[in-house]
Structure 1
Amino acid sequence: MMSAHSVPTPAPRPLVDPAGLVGQWVRVHEDGAVGLLLSADRAGWTLRTPTGVRTGQGRLAAEAVTQRAEVRPVRRRLRAVMDDPGFPGSADLDLLDLQLAAHP
């Protein structure tokens, strides 16, 4: 005899205009990458991560980072590059901390 079981489905993510996330730390839905969104429009996007700059074409599906637990590895990497004159690690870490403080 067969029985019907409900299959859990992931909660739908809200659609957010990625242009409104520019200047914030975000998590990319596609692969979970976390970085500072430098630019975003319908044609493409640019994201600065502690390991380098990523770009993509098309609309970015991402959401703002709001919990410390989801950025622990990112914070460690930023601290590691804080003294690198070619990378704004200190400023990015400050911005990340400010964003997280706004979401207790």
Structure 2
Amino acid sequence: MERTRAVFAISVAAEMSSLQIQNLRVYERRGLVTPARTAGGTRLYSDEDVAVLRRIRELLAEGLNLAGVARVLELEAEVAGLREEVRALNARRGR
């Protein structure tokens, strides 16, 4: 299964990430996670979404507030993108 394929209902995603359903709704409102939606509006989460939820839980446990969590997630995504750019550049240079 693809990591980005949204297949988990909110209750399953909450259980998989050890979070409360209402917290997942808050994180969505804050833009920390963006689950897919069915035509009827039901949230569906992917493996990747669940990984983000687990990371949010870890960062909150470390004492960050939601604004701090958002910034860390943003920076982690930026670092991952830059690492991919470096890999691509090195591959073009024959490294």
Fold conserved between structures, TM > 0.5: no
TM-score, L = length of structure 2: 0.28
* Higher normalized strand content (fraction of residues): 1
Structure ranking higher on relative contact order (CA contacts 8 Å, 6+ apart): 2
Larger Rg: 1
